[in-house]
Amino acid sequence: MKKYSLLSLFTNGLNGHKRWPQAWRDAEPKRSYDVVIIGGGGHGLATAYYLAKKHGITNVAVLEKGWLGGGNTGRNTTVIRSNYFYKESTNFFDHSLKLYEKLSLEFNYNLLLSQGGITTLAHNRHDLEVLERWANSMQVQNVDSEMLTPEQIKERMPLIDISPTSRYPIWGGFVQKRGGVARHDAVAWGYARGADAMGVDIIQNCEVTGILREGDSVRGVETKYGVIKADKVAMCVAGHTSVLGAMAGLELPIVSQPLQAMVSEPVKPCLDGVVLSPAVHAYVSQSDRGEILIGGGADRYPSYSQRGTLPVTEETLAAAATLFPAFGSLKLMRQWAGIVDISPDSSPIMGKTPVNGLYISGGWGTGGFKAIPAGGDCLAYTIANDKPHDLIEPFGLDRFARGAFIDEGAAAGVAH
Ligand code: FAD
Ligand code: PYC
């Protein structure tokens, strides 16, 4: 892969980047493909990458209605962790974390993975008991987790208020030290560059407006370029999974709600890692640019407006400023939202659907960024073999009919 010197960066800056090679081709859509992937977010791109890399399937198109990463992948707060409760989840999410740990090297492209740890707070005896059970469950599954006293929490993040008279007194918490953050755009771009280099066609500004079926089987999609045929189609459209599902005649158990995030003006380094309080509905980290990044629970009503409502913004900021009083004096710089698809058990829906050749990666709710490598890896396997990968078999759509829920509402981290 080409390397750039400081001089070349400088001259390219002056000439308007005219000589920089494109990171991926602007592909012309063909009339048919072996596999069409709907959605150019992290999951769609990672699925295309692993189809090509691990299964030699390169006659693949990724169709994106806007720009790559313009959905939730480019809107999320980039928390990466595998601290879930049930073994189905820890197996899957720890596979993802392990893939993340190697990905910058594999891509030769820096994803800015920063494993500063993720600390979850308890504010009363009940919270503490739940966290102890949760941390213990992770330890018996061989996933790192450590209980912390309030003093140990203060040592990790000196600006937090641990006084017993605080509005949300801190009784303790637990940390997953391998947890952290990665640069969201770089994850999408890294997978896009890799998939493109292996021959995958990435087509932006190409909305799918219909899914074609012949009896029980999928046959392709409709777009502004006309019909694009494929006997295998994957829906990787977080936020719009039920909309795409309906195009194929599927009614999915999903509710779509906005989830907000916001950043302050930049300040000097003062917070390492991520801290999350499920009880007060706020989580906080500091970006590489120095901004304090703050998020909270999902908005309360289903909606496709990518804005969020003011009461939730206010509650989230109030909670963050109560945990970290010093942040109360910061100016808010930006606020935004994405639409998240929430399933009844707060776990993703991955794998085959009742329509032959139609695959789903959805229901990621508030937590699918951390899942991108494993989601792509396992969905690619499922598509290539028309058989669910072992790690995602428990997350199939059929679990709702069987009542085999994987209820991760508590470990989802943020309220929804
Ligand atoms: P997306 O990145 O949304 O990609 C789907 C793509 O499909 C979009 O680009 C969209 O334009 C496209 N699309 C939709 N309809 C069509 C169509 N008809 N035709 C063609 N293309 C279509 N997760 C974490 O793990 N950690 C976090 O800290 C975290 N924080 C979050 C904070 C916020 C504010 C939000 C909104 C989400 C957060 N998430 C987090 C969730 C995470 O962002 C998502 O689960 C994840 O990005 C989903 O990836 P995706 O590739 O499935 O979806
Ligand atoms: O899934 O870890 C998560 C998360 C944190 C904030 C939003 N989602």
Residuewise pLDDT in 10s, the chain (416 residues): 455 677 877 887 888 777 778 899 999 999 999 999 999 999 999 999 999 999 999 999 999 999 999 999 999 999 999 999 999 999 999 999 999 999 999 999 999 999 999 999 999 999 999 999 999 999 999 999 999 999 999 999 999 999 999 999 999 999 999 999 999 999 999 999 999 999 999 999 999 999 999 999 999 999 999 999 999 999 999 999 999 999 999 999 999 999 999 999 999 999 999 999 988 889 999 999 999 999 999 998 999 999 999 999 999 999 999 999 999 999 999 999 999 999 999 999 999 999 999 999 999 999 999 999 999 999 999 999 999 999 999 999 999 999 999 999 888 777 77
Give the residue, by CA position, lying nearest to ligand 2 atom 4: 367
In this structure, what token pair is assigned to residue 403? 């009542």
- Which one of 94, 120, 340, 414 would you pick to mutate in the ligand 2 pocket, going by the greatest count of ligand atoms within 8 A of its CB? 414
Q: Is 357 in the pocket of ligand 2 (CB under 6 A)?
A: no
**Going by C-beta distance under 8 Å and a sequence separation of 6 or more, which residues neighbour residue 128?**
122, 171, 172
Distances from the Cα of 396 to the Cαs of 249, 275, 409, in angstroms? Answer: 18, 31, 17
Task: Report the C-alpha gap between 132 and 130 in whole angstroms.
Answer: 5
In this structure, what token pair is assigned to residue 354? 């009742």
Which atom belonging to ligand 2 lies closest to the Cα atom of 369? Answer: 1
**Going by C-beta distance under 8 Å and a sequence separation of 6 or more, which residues neighbour residue 64?**
39, 40, 41, 44, 70, 202, 203, 204, 205, 206
Global pTM reads 0.96
Task: Report the C-alpha gap between 253 and 166 in whole angstroms.
Answer: 40
- Which one of 43, 62, 72, 305 would you pick to mutate in the ligand 1 pocket, going by the greatest count of ligand atoms within 8 A of its CB? 72
Residue with tokens 């601290």: 83
Among candidate residues 199, 206, 241, the one with its CA nearest the CA of residue 225: 206
Task: Report the C-alpha gap between 80 and 96 in whole angstroms.
Answer: 9
Among candidate residues 397, 379, 404, the one with its CA nearest the CA of residue 389: 379
